[in-house]
Structure 1
């Protein structure tokens, strides 16, 4: 039986492939301290690497402190160089909500991990560059897979599949095409928004029209639109999607869902100018909670960003390869 798996073709150098496989097996506890590694000849035959390549890889492992050599006996495992997990966290963007997730993630890991943060800015090519520069340097890669709407599924799946499933975690959005071997803490955007609207169907009864303000350049998941549409279809409400409020005059009997903070401010002002009172003759629902929205008594729909970070960290610490749906809720206030 092979003591570990060398399946790291995403690393171009054959020497680095061996170093990565052996060091990760040591770090993850698959190879115990002072256990003997296969001889150079045995490794070469078993894993189909050239003898010189294996010898250079073993030499590098010795230099990095993972392995020691005993003359005339062979190569042995020193043990983990650093018991801390090395995690690369890659967000799609920086925001106040991402900050909550980040600090919850860090606080839960405490001193058990070192976390580096990078941002791909919705660009799958930028994500690919980040991964190419960092592959083999981390135990886990935690990624928010939100990309420009024009990005095809084939494009981002190709990039995500360069990461071994056992080292991959999807955060905020699930990618079922990756199978069940990876970790995931996600929102189900379509179902989540449909379900929270259903939970407040009595409050929404006084509104015969639902409009979602969805700036297409913001790259929010379009599943949100589908969930709203299904709710309106079921309850026979008129439904519309607009990209901005510039040409919109708020009307009585309409409930608005806004995804951007700037649109919320504009909607409040326009409603006031039209002598409409939120919660009475016009409804306002905003995405994601803030202190200001609480003070203004704005109804919000939000995932639990703190829970997302905590759950992700605990799954990594416990090595739980599973997919967990993050809590999502509506906080009803006077604006509805």
Structure 2
């Protein structure tokens, strides 16, 4: 009895190479062992509706690599199992930013040569995401998705369910609808994270009259961040307000501490402070969301609340390499600097 194995056909890839890659993958996954017999050329071509020449070309390539051997009158056999076939990973971000680059670099570096990673951006657009899946379902071993969508959530869940659970990894955001032990995730808990980080700085926050949340207008962020901020203020009796973005005409007030989410708003706030000759950290306070190297030196240090983006990328890669379906909360920290 010949061993059966699946053949994955990938668009724009020659069919004979799909046969080669599928056999190598079956060896890598332990489905084919040394000495096992493969189907004959005729059997494999009939089973998968392939031209006989396609299968013959695939077997010839595998023989050239020493992966299979042929015995006259008996057929083809697995000759060696020390083969390597990189995993195929589709990585789908909602946008490109400095933070996303940190995640991407750590993810790819940790995977090393064990995977080929293709990066796509869905721009929080459900139609774009659907087209990505339509074009790529079945072509990858893993689908790593940042599910940051702000409308048509039921459609998003339905699209994600098209991906086999063991092949799906949710990145940066958890989805209760897919909180399944078979769906891996590395996530932030946006509401609880900002609450805990602000609570850690509560002593320094008390020297200010009011906390001001600068809600980003240009780029959508999870609404849970604002909810966590407001809940912290109510629970700790802080006066607070919410600004919709920050520009050159925004009214700012000495004695306030500003929690700024978007980089553009941070730049505008710093400009407004300079115009008024305020000393940041004394006349006003600034807490910025998401760490970057520049914030470590800007104004002699901007206080930051941030997840560890590099850690997120590394953790996601390790889940894939170790074939683990786990839900892991990513670390979130407060970095105290002179702006508070």
The TM-score bracket by the shorter chain reads 0.7 to 0.9
Paired position in structure 2 for 1:97: 99
Structure 2 gap ranges (5+)? 12-18, 63-67
Distance 1:136 1:58 in 2: 22
Answer yes or no: is the 8 Å Cα contact 2:184–2:325 preserved in 1.
yes
CA distance in 1, matches of 2:83, 2:57: 12
Cα distance change of structure 1 residues 325 and 57 upon mapping to structure 2, 3 Å threshold: farther
Go from structure 1 to structure 2 and tell me whether the alpha carbon gap of 1:34 and 1:227 turns closer, same or farther (over 3 Å shift): farther
- Give secondary structure in 1 for the equivalent of 2:96: coil
Seen in structure 2, the aligned counterparts of structure 1 residues 248 and 176 have a Cα distance that, compared at 3 Å, is same
2:314 aligned to which of 304, 307, 310: 310
1:200 paired to 2:204: no
State the match for 2:166 in structure 1.
Answer: 166
Q: Return the offset for 1:35.
A: 4.5
Quickly say closer, same or farther: Cα 1:77–1:153, change in 2 above 3 A. Answer: farther
Shift of 1:292: 2.2
Q: How does 1:145-184 map to 2 (within 5 A)?
A: 145-147=147-149, 149=150, 151-178=151-178, 179-184=180-185
5+ residue gaps, structure 1, are: 12-18, 40-51
Separation in structure 1 between the aligned mates of residue 55 and residue 170 of structure 2, nearest angstrom? 30
Instruction: Quote how far apart the aligned CAs of 1:252 are.
Output: 2.5
Q: How many Å apart are 1:80 and its aligned residue?
A: 9.4
8 Å CA contact 2:197, 2:333 repeated in 1: yes
**Deviation of 1:21 (Å):** 9.7
Structure 2 CA distance for partners of 1:330 and 1:21, relative to 1, 3 Å: same
CA distance in 2 between counterparts of 1:112 and 1:25 reads 15
The answer (yes or no) to whether the contact 1:4–1:21 under 8 Å persists in 2 is no
Counterpart CA distance in 1 for 2:55 and 2:28 is 13
CA contact (8 A) 2:87 2:115 kept: yes
Q: 1:55 to 1:116 in 2, by over 3 A?
A: closer
What SS does the corresponding residue of 2:91 show, helix, strand or coil? strand
Tell me if the contact between 1:256 and 1:283 (Cα under 8 Å) persists in the aligned partners.
Answer: yes
RMSD: 3.4
Which 4+ stretches in 1 moved above 6 angstroms? Answer: 3-6, 19-24, 36-39, 57-63, 66-81
Matching of residues 12-161 of structure 1 within 5 Å: 28-32=29-33, 35=36, 54-56=47-49, 82-147=84-149, 149=150, 151-161=151-161
Identify the residue that residue 256 of structure 1 maps to in structure 2.
Answer: 258
Report how many residues are paired: 315
Contact 1:91 1:117 (C-alpha < 8 Å) held by counterparts = yes
Change beyond 3 A, Cα 1:142–1:257: same
Contact 2:24 2:84 in 1 (8 A): no
CA distance in structure 2 between the aligned counterparts of 1:245 and 1:213, rounded to whole angstroms: 7
Rounded to whole Å, the distance in 1 between the matches of 2:25 and 2:289 is 41
1:325 aligns to 2:318 (yes or no):
no
8 A contact 2:216–2:265 mirrored in 1: no
Q: Return the alpha-carbon distance in structure 2 between the equivalents of residues 62 and 242 of structure 1.
A: 67
TM-score under structure 2 normalisation? Answer: 0.79
2:14 corresponding residue in structure 1 = none
- In the other structure, the counterpart of 2:229 is 228
Inter-partner Cα distance in structure 2 for 1:195 and 1:123: 31
